[in-house]
Amino acid sequence: MKSVSVLIFLFITLQFNIAQKVDVYSRPIQAERSRDFDAIHYRVSLKVDLDKKILSGENQITLSPLRNNLDKCVLDAEYLVVENVAGIDGRNLLFEQKENQVFISFSRQYNHKDTIILTVKYNLSKPTLGLRFIEETATNPLMVSSDCFPNKARQWIPCYDYPNDKVTTEMIVTVDNRYKVLSNGRLVSIKENRQRGEVTYHWNQELPHSTYLISLSIADYAVIEDSLGSLPVNYWVYKGLEADAKTTFGKTPYMIDFFNKLYNYPYPWAKYDQVITSYMGGGAEATSATIVGEGLVMDTIAEKDYSRETVIAHEIAHQWWGDLVTLRSWEHTWLNESFGTYSDYLYTRFDKGEDAGAFDLLGKKNQYLNEAHNRYMRPIVFNRYDNPGDNFDSHTYPKGACMLHLLRYILGDDAFFRTLSTFLHQNEFKPVDTHDFMKTVKEVTGKNMDWFFEQYFFSPGHPVFEVTKSWNETTKKLEITVLQLQDSVPEVPIYTIPVNFGFSFPGEKIVKEVWLKNKVEKFEFEFSAEPLLVRFDEGNYLLKEVTFRKSLAELVYQAEYDDMIGRLTAVNELRSFNGEKSTLTVWTKLATSDSFWAVRQAALENIERYQGEKSKDLYKARLMDKNSKVRVSAIRILGDQKDPGLVRLFEKTFRSENSYAAQAESLKSIGKCGGKKQLSFLKEAESVKSYRNIVSKAAVDASSVILGKERAAVHNTLK
């Protein structure tokens, strides 16, 4: 669903002292909703007045009883006012609207083989979150934008509003002919009534989906047409943003093609649209018509620093995980969001490379750990919540994604991806729960993985390890002890878990897998010489915290020769040896030449932390780094030195930079180092156009800093 921004913590303090600041176990136990009919089809006809912020409508509902002798039905209806209910014969039916529901009495009893058609007429004149009437501003047009998640379709459509019942839908919407209308499925027709100055759009979602996935957007949009073969792929944006929209959304067909092949299940819907709105920050999937925040649209310069490709990929993945197969009830949110989050990692790895993928997954791990340490821990599958949105957190998104990564390692790539494809084919257009997925794992792989799900999905927490090693030069044996510490927290188990040890020697690395099953495990390995480095969790498959102390020599070796995650870890763990010459040497080398930007950045920032102004030439050299994030760090470090002699360098950097973030940081550094003479330069910079005006805002902030310094200087003089 709504995507969540990832907080990157390059190093987590490895002490397991977690306070449950939010008592999630005090929340009420929720259960899947029962129903006595199966909704089959909703044919929604609306007349929407954007100026008056009202609509009138009707929903022709086709349903089938799930029991015999059904003589009434109950629909969800909040805010909207029902005016009339009629049967298929046109005769009015008795109804009562109360407590956000409509109770409808049939003219006779129906049995489970019958089909019932009734029409509910209604109007809506109150503002709702489910269907927002959004005022025109300097940046967005007058618009209507839906937000049905998790149970707000009922605010503008009388319906059964729970994800365990899937329906086909039609949306027939009449508006002023200034506007365009987008909804789910195939565009059937556009009919214009010139006499009335109106236009009617007819959309048909011919395959079943849940009500929270219904989408409606109305505005004077520009529509950019694209495609993947015969599949229409369109981008609905504000006029004037067409060029930037092509930059932002241009890889959409490429992403869909990637997921087609990855899941071995062709994209299931009639088309794929993305439409922007002003009220949202990230994205919200809807069947074939995803809604995304207007902030996702950016030019090629902003893409370097603020790209939201992962949001776009995440929402596309939901067209399978969440839309094709949908959580049956809200405790199974991971079936939507963990798969969506893991899918955006898989796309990042595919498109940006192994290191970028690994860094993305590290960010997901640390996002969960932050929530576990600072808010609460809960099982991923969790039926205690006040409202469904409570479960859309860092346990559902990143933790669940990390658990899928571990499951993939245990099963192997072939079995894992065959399981995913089989699950989609077996459950297409159906609601599903965790046990459905567990069953498919068994059927496809032959492995009973109930123990895995019990530990990682039905129990809270994560493993916390203390690892020690001892080399015996006489026997040539290495003893490693692994202690699990997490069981001091209630309900957190001692894990059964596979883990790889990596042993590095000159010219080779040996990897050995072991299984942990007890609180304390001891392992013995025999080698001809002591390893140069021992890695716990070689391959980085575990979501964990670990204390594993290494010598200076080991960390220096790791920082130079390990994989990216290992190098990044070593760069930060070398803080324990910050006074050693070899530490500064390796930090300097990595800040200059490591292949991945985050390692270069971490090394640079550690040098600043312990060397300060002594490495000014290095900081200046990194102003030419190929990655703007490293350049931003270098500019910030130099600015923090508050050296007036650097002002000209910052002005030159500002003029030559092709990164808004680096330009903004240059202006902030001018504010830190400069004086009144720089105010005219900053005033000129205020007029520079940039993504979300970050350059202009930085210029204003820098001017404020300088003026503040001037006022302080005058005050001190008067004293």
Global pTM value? 0.94
540 pLDDT band (50/70/90 cuts)?
Answer: very high
Q: Per-residue pLDDT for 246 more than 90?
A: yes
| Delimiting residues of CATH 2.60.40.1840 domain(s) in the chain | 463-549
Q: Which residue has the tokens 């269907």?
A: 131
Residue 205 pairs in a beta bridge with 169
719 pLDDT band (50/70/90 cuts)?
Answer: low
Average pLDDT over residues 523-529: 97
- CATH hierarchy code of domain 24-29+328-456: 1.10.390.10
Report the pLDDT value the prediction gives residue 2, as an integer from 0 to 100.
46
712 pLDDT band (50/70/90 cuts)?
Answer: confident
Q: What is the 3-state secondary structure (H, E, C) of 391-437?
A: HCCCHHHHHHHHHHHHHHHHHCHHHHHHHHHHHHHHCCCEEECHHHH
HSE on the CB side for 392, CA within 13 Å?
Answer: 17
Report the pLDDT value the prediction gives residue 709, as an integer from 0 to 100.
87
Total residues found in the chain within this entry = 719
User: Average pLDDT of the chain?
Assistant: 95
pLDDT digits (tens, 9 = 90+) for 467-486: 999 999 999 999 999 999 99
b/e sequence 259-297, b meaning 16+ C-beta within 10 Å: beebbebebbbbbbbbbbbbebebbbbbbbbbbbbbbbb
Report the pLDDT value the prediction gives residue 13, as an integer from 0 to 100.
38
Average pLDDT over residues 174-200: 98
Q: Which residue has the tokens 């370097």?
A: 304
Fold category of 463-549 in CATH: Immunoglobulin-like (2.60.40)
Average pLDDT over residues 195-204: 98
In percent, the amount of the chain with pLDDT more than 70 equals: 97
Average pLDDT over residues 33-61: 98
Average pLDDT over residues 48-71: 98
Return the SS3 of 628.
helix
Report the pLDDT value the prediction gives residue 420, as an integer from 0 to 100.
98
pLDDT digits (tens, 9 = 90+) for 248-262: 999 999 999 999 999
Report the pLDDT value the prediction gives residue 12, as an integer from 0 to 100.
37
Helix (H) or strand (E) holding 354: helix 354-374
Residue 170's φ and ψ, nearest 5 degrees, are: -120, 145
Yes or no: say if 438 and 449 are a contact pair by the CB < 8 Å rule.
yes
Distance (Å, whole) CA 407 – CA 395: 16
| Delimiting residues of CATH 1.10.390.10 domain(s) in the chain | 24-29+328-456
Kindly give, in sequence order, each residue whose CB lies less than 8 Å from that of residue 715, ignoring residues fewer than 6 positions away: none
Q: Which residue has the tokens 């008056």?
A: 52
Tell me which residue of 337, 378, 342 sits closest to 361, measured CA to CA: 342
Report the pLDDT value the prediction gives residue 718, as an integer from 0 to 100.
65
Q: Which two tokens stand for residue 190?
A: 């556009």
Return the SS3 of 96.
strand
Distance (Å, whole) CA 687 – CA 669: 18
Q: Per-residue pLDDT for 71 more than 60?
A: yes
Report the pLDDT value the prediction gives residue 711, as an integer from 0 to 100.
86
Backbone dihedral region for residue 99 (phi beyond 0: left; psi -120 to 50: alpha; all else: beta): left
4 pLDDT band (50/70/90 cuts)?
Answer: very low
Yes or no: say if 563 and 594 are a contact pair by the CB < 8 Å rule.
no
| Helix, strand, coil in percent for the chain, rounding step 5 | 40, 25, 30
Yes or no: say if 280 and 369 are a contact pair by the CB < 8 Å rule.
no
Report the pLDDT value the prediction gives residue 672, as an integer from 0 to 100.
97
Q: Which residue has the tokens 């490693």?
A: 480
Tell me which residue of 314, 360, 363, 364 sits closest to 339, measured CA to CA: 314
613 pLDDT band (50/70/90 cuts)?
Answer: confident
pLDDT digits (tens, 9 = 90+) for 615-655: 999 999 999 999 999 999 999 999 999 999 999 999 999 99
Yes or no: say if 385 and 369 are a contact pair by the CB < 8 Å rule.
no
Q: Per-residue pLDDT for 158 more than 70?
A: yes
b/e sequence 450-469, b meaning 16+ C-beta within 10 Å: eebbebbbebbbbbbbbbeb
Q: Per-residue pLDDT for 703 more than 50?
A: yes
Tell me, rounded to whole angstroms, the distance of Cα 123 from its chain centroid.
35
Return the SS3 of 56.
strand
| Delimiting residues of CATH 2.60.40.1730 domain(s) in the chain | 38-219
Average pLDDT over residues 380-387: 97
Distance (Å, whole) CA 654 – CA 646: 12
Which long-range contacts (C-beta less than 8 Å, at least 24 apart) are formed by 104-109?
104/72, 104/73, 104/74, 104/75, 105/71, 105/72, 106/70, 106/71, 106/72, 106/73, 108/71, 109/68, 109/69, 109/70, 109/71
Neighbours of 204 (CB within 10 A): 18
Yes or no: say if 515 and 494 are a contact pair by the CB < 8 Å rule.
no
Average pLDDT over residues 15-34: 82
Average pLDDT over residues 227-252: 97
Report the pLDDT value the prediction gives residue 380, as an integer from 0 to 100.
98
Distance (Å, whole) CA 66 – CA 101: 20
E-assigned strand segments in 66-185: 70-76, 81-87, 95-98, 101-110, 116-124, 131-134, 143-146, 167-176, 180-183
Report the pLDDT value the prediction gives residue 717, as an integer from 0 to 100.
73
Q: Per-residue pLDDT for 7 more than 50?
A: no
Report DSSP letters for 583-599, one per residue: HHHHHHHHHHH-SSHHH
Yes or no: say if 324 and 709 are a contact pair by the CB < 8 Å rule.
no
Report the pLDDT value the prediction gives residue 295, as an integer from 0 to 100.
95
Return the SS3 of 687.
coil
pLDDT digits (tens, 9 = 90+) for 509-523: 999 999 999 999 999
Average pLDDT over residues 364-385: 97
When comparing pLDDT for 698 and 21, which is higher?
698
Kindly give, in sequence order, each residue whose CB lies less than 8 Å from that of residue 507, ignoring residues fewer than 6 positions away: none
Instruction: Give the CA dihedral 13, 19, 22, 24, nearest 10 degrees.
Output: 100
Distance (Å, whole) CA 426 – CA 404: 19
Tell me which residue of 584, 540, 537 sits closest to 564, measured CA to CA: 540
165 pLDDT band (50/70/90 cuts)?
Answer: very high
Kindly give, in sequence order, each residue whose CB lies less than 8 Å from that of residue 353, ignoring residues fewer than 6 positions away: none
Q: Per-residue pLDDT for 316 more than 70?
A: yes
Distance (Å, whole) CA 630 – CA 423: 42
562 pLDDT band (50/70/90 cuts)?
Answer: very high
Neighbours of 471 (CB within 10 A): 15
Report the pLDDT value the prediction gives residue 19, as an integer from 0 to 100.
52
The structural architecture, per CATH, of the domain 38-219 is Sandwich (2.60)
Return the SS3 of 630.
helix
pLDDT digits (tens, 9 = 90+) for 393-427: 999 999 999 999 999 999 999 999 999 999 999 99
In percent, the amount of the chain with pLDDT more than 90 equals: 94
Average pLDDT over residues 708-715: 81
Report the pLDDT value the prediction gives residue 14, as an integer from 0 to 100.
39
Report DSSP letters for 538-596, one per residue: TT-----EEE----HHHHHHHHHHS-HHHHHHHHHHGGGGTTSHHHHHHHHHHHHH-SS
